[in-house]
Structure 1
Amino acid sequence: MTTVGVLRETAGRERRVALTPDGVARLRKQEISALVETGAGARAWFEDIGYHGAGAVVGDRDRVYAESDVLLCLHPPDDVAACRPGQLLIGLLNPLGNVELMQQLATAGVTAISLDLLPRTLSRAQAMDALTSQANVAGYKAALLAAEAYSGFFPMLMTAAGTTRPAQVLVLGAGVAGLQAIATARRLGALVTGYDVREAARADIASTGATVLGGPGPAKDGDGGYARELTEDEQIAQQSALDEAIPRFDVIITTAQVPGGPAPRLVSENALSKMRPGSVVIDLASTVDGGNVEGSIPDTRTVTDAGVTIIGAAGLASTVPGAASTAYARNALALLTHLMPRGEVVLDLDDEIQAAVVVTHGGRVVNARVRDRKEIRS
C-alpha cells in the first residue's frame, strides 16, 4: 500500500498544513495510507487526535521521511535533504525561483512535483489549482486587513451625526486574488476600482460591478494564463498612469505577480507621497527582493512620513489556516488521484498535466521551463 506522508511546515509564520483529517479519510477510501508528523496541523487547529480518528498514523518527522512514498508539503522543507531516492515531494516548490534546490533534488533521485507550475488553461486540472485556491483566500483577507487598517469606514454611513462617504478602493492586478479582493471590498460597501494590463482581466473587473481604471494596454497574457512581464516602454507608460491615479484613492491593494520573475513595481514613492494621510496600501506581492509597492517590507506594517500605512502581506493565506489548508488539501488530493488512479503512483510525462508539474525525475531536471531558467542563470 502506498503511504502519503504529511510534513509540518517549517517556513516562517506558516500555519497551514498540506493535508487535513478529511483528506486522510478520502485517501483511506482509495486504500492509500497516511502518515502525519506529530503536530503538523496544530497551527491550523487540526489536532493529532483528528488525524488518528480519520485513520492516519501520527509519528515523528524522521519516521515520516523514512516510511513515506509520497511527501506532501506547502513549501520546500528546511531539511529537504532528508528525502530518500525514489520519493515524491509534492508542494508549492517555486521551482523557477529555486533552481538550485531543484537540481539538488534531482541529484538526490527525488521526484519533485510543483503545483505552482500547473497551467490554469487546462480545464481538467482546475481541481488541482492550488495557486487559485490560496489566492482566493489571500484576496479575501487582504480586503479585511485593509478595512481594519483604514482610518475611516468602508461603507457609506448615514447617521444623526452626518453622512460619511464610502472608501475609494483601488485593486491593482485582477487575477484570482485581485478579483476576490474586489468582490470582498464591494461587499464591505466600498467604491471599488480595478486595474490590469490584460484585456481579459479588465473584462473580469467589469463583470464584478467594479469600475475599470483606464491606462496603458491592453496586453496579452503570458504562458498558462498568467501575466507576463511588461516591456520597458510598457512599464514607463503604466507607471506614469498609476502615479496620476493612485492619490485619488483611500486604499490600494496590489496583487500583481509574474511567475518566475520579479513582481512589477506599481506604487512608486512619488505616488505614495501624494496620498492622503490615513490611507492604506496592502502589498500581496511583498518579498525580501521587493514587491508591487516602494518601501513595502514582508510581514511588516510601516507608516510613511505622509501618514500612509504600508503593509507587506505576501503570506495572507496562512492567516486563514483552516480554510486555506482545507482548500489546499483538496487540490493535493485531486493531483494524487490523477497520479495514482489505482492506488499506486503512475508517472507519464507525456500527460500534459504531469509534463507541466513534474520538475525532477530519474536523477534529472525534466521540466523544460525550469531547465531554461537554469541555463539562463548559469
Structure 2
Amino acid sequence: MAAVTLGVLRERHPAETRVALVPEGVRDVDGLGLSVLVEGGAGAAAGFTGAAYRAAGACLTSTAEATSADIVVAVRRPTVDALGPLRRGQILIGMLRPMHAPFVVRRWADEGATLITLDQLPATAGPPSPLDAAAGQAELAGSEAVRLAAGRLGREPAGVLVLGGGHAARRAVETARLSGANVQVHGAGEQAPAAALPSFDVVISTVDPSDSAPPLLIDDDALRRLRPGSVVVDLACGPYGHTVAGAEPGIERVLADGVTVIGAGDLATRVPAPASAAFSRAVTALLAGVVHGGRPVVDLTAPNLAPLVIAHGGTIRHAGVLHRLAETTAAAGLP
C-alpha cells in the first residue's frame, strides 16, 4: 500500500514569511509513516533551504503535487484558486480562520474534505495546548513587540503598559519585566488609563483572538496624552480592525508629537524561523494524535481534536460558520 502523503504548501500571502513544517518536523512526520512533499520554495522566506528539506527526508515537488497530497498543511488558509478543488477524504490543516470565509468552508465541506484548524481552541489561563498554533504565534508576537518597541526607543523601556489579554499580552508582560521595565496591565476590553499614560514610554495593545473587529482601546485623545517619543504597538491591528486609533496593518507612523504607532498584527512574520518552528511543532503534535499505523484517523470523539475539526464527511461542524451561513443566505432571500 502506498504511503500517505503530506503536502507542505508555499504561502501566497505577500506578507507571509513562515512555513507550516520545518525540516526538523519532517523527521517527526516521517516517523509516523507519512511521505512528505514540500512545494518548491516553501521554506525560503523562513531560511529553510530545499537542501535542508531533502536532507531531512522530504521530496521537493510542484504545486500540483503538494496540493494533491492526502494531507495538506499551510500556515494561512489557502485561496480556492491556489489550492484547487479538494477531494473527498483529503485533509487540510492550518490556521483557517473559518469565520472569515464561511462560503469557502462550505465549498470544501461539500467536496468532502476534512478541515482542521489550529486557531480555534478556547483561550486558557495557563500554558497553551501543544495543538494551539495561534497561541504559539501570539507568544512570539508578545515578546517581539517589546523588542520592537525598545529598538524604536533606542533603549530598554522604563515603563510599559500592556492592554488586553491572551497569550500575546502575557508574554509581553514577561519580556518587559525581564528587561527591567515597570509594567502595568489592564485586562481585556479596558481602555488605556488616561491619567497614567504620560508615565509610560511603551504601550502594547492586544486582545484575545476572535472573529469580530477588535475594540478601540487607545483613541486619539489617549495618543495625545503619551509622552513625546513613546512607542505604541498594536498587536491586534489587521484587516478586520485595530485597537489603536490610526493604526494600519504593517505600517509605522510617527505622529506630530513624536509618538510612534506600529500596526503589528502579523508580528510573528518578522521572526519567521522561530515562528515556523513553533507552528511546525503544533502540526506534528496534531499529526501524532491523528495518524495511526501510517494512516490518518479523524476521531471526532477525541477531546483535543474535536474542537479543531470544522468540516468532516461532507458536514460543517463549526457552529459559528453554520450560523453565519444561515444569516447570510436569509438576508439574501435564499432558501
| TM-score, normalized by the shorter chain, greater than 0.5 | yes
Does structure 1 residue 72 correspond to structure 2 residue 73?
A: yes
Alignment of 1:194-273 (within 5 A): 194-197=185-188, 238-239=190-191, 242-273=193-224
Distance in 1 between residues matched to 2:127 and 2:88, nearest whole Å: 30
- Which residue, 139, 146, 152 being the options, matches 2:142? 139
**Secondary structure at 1:142 match in 2:** helix
One-letter amino acid matched to 2:225: K
Distance in 2 between residues matched to 1:52 and 1:127, nearest whole Å: 26
Distance 1:29 1:299, change over 3 A: same
Q: Aligned-pair distance for 1:9?
A: 0.7
Q: CA offsets, 1:123-155, max 9 Å, x none?
A: 9982212122111111111001000112x5326
Distance in 2 between residues matched to 1:346 and 1:91, nearest whole Å: 17
Structure-1 residue corresponding to 2:171: 180
Q: Aligned-pair distance for 1:364?
A: 2.4
**Secondary structure at 2:130 match in 1:** helix
One-letter amino acid matched to 1:77: P
Does structure 1 residue 292 correspond to structure 2 residue 240?
A: no
Alignment of 1:1-378 (within 5 A): 1-66=3-68, 68-78=69-79, 79-120=82-123, 126-150=129-153, 153-154=155-156, 167-197=158-188, 238-239=190-191, 242-378=193-329
Distance in 2 between residues matched to 1:24 and 1:258, nearest whole Å: 29
Distance 1:106 1:122, change over 3 A: farther
Q: Is the 8 A contact 1:65 1:84 kept in 2?
A: no
Structure 1: gaps (5+ residues): 156-166, 198-229, 231-237
Distance 1:246 1:372, change over 3 A: farther
Q: Is the 8 A contact 2:5 2:37 kept in 1?
A: yes
Distance in 1 between residues matched to 2:45 and 2:246, nearest whole Å: 30
Q: Is the 8 A contact 1:355 1:367 kept in 2?
A: no
Distance in 2 between residues matched to 1:354 and 1:125, nearest whole Å: 15
Distance 1:110 1:171, change over 3 A: same
Q: CA offsets, 1:201-238, max 9 Å, x none?
A: xxxxxxxxxxxxxxxxxxxxxxxxxxxxx6xxxxxxx4
Please give the TM-score of this superposition, normalised by the length of structure 2. 0.91
Distance in 1 between residues matched to 2:289 and 2:128, nearest whole Å: 9
Please give the TM-score of this superposition, normalised by the length of structure 1. 0.81
One-letter amino acid matched to 1:9: E
**Secondary structure at 1:4 match in 2:** strand
Q: CA offsets, 1:43-84, max 9 Å, x none?
A: 111101111111111111111123x10000010123133433
Distance 1:84 1:257, change over 3 A: same
Distance in 2 between residues matched to 1:350 and 1:122, nearest whole Å: 24
Distance 1:339 1:124, change over 3 A: farther
CA root-mean-square deviation: 2.1
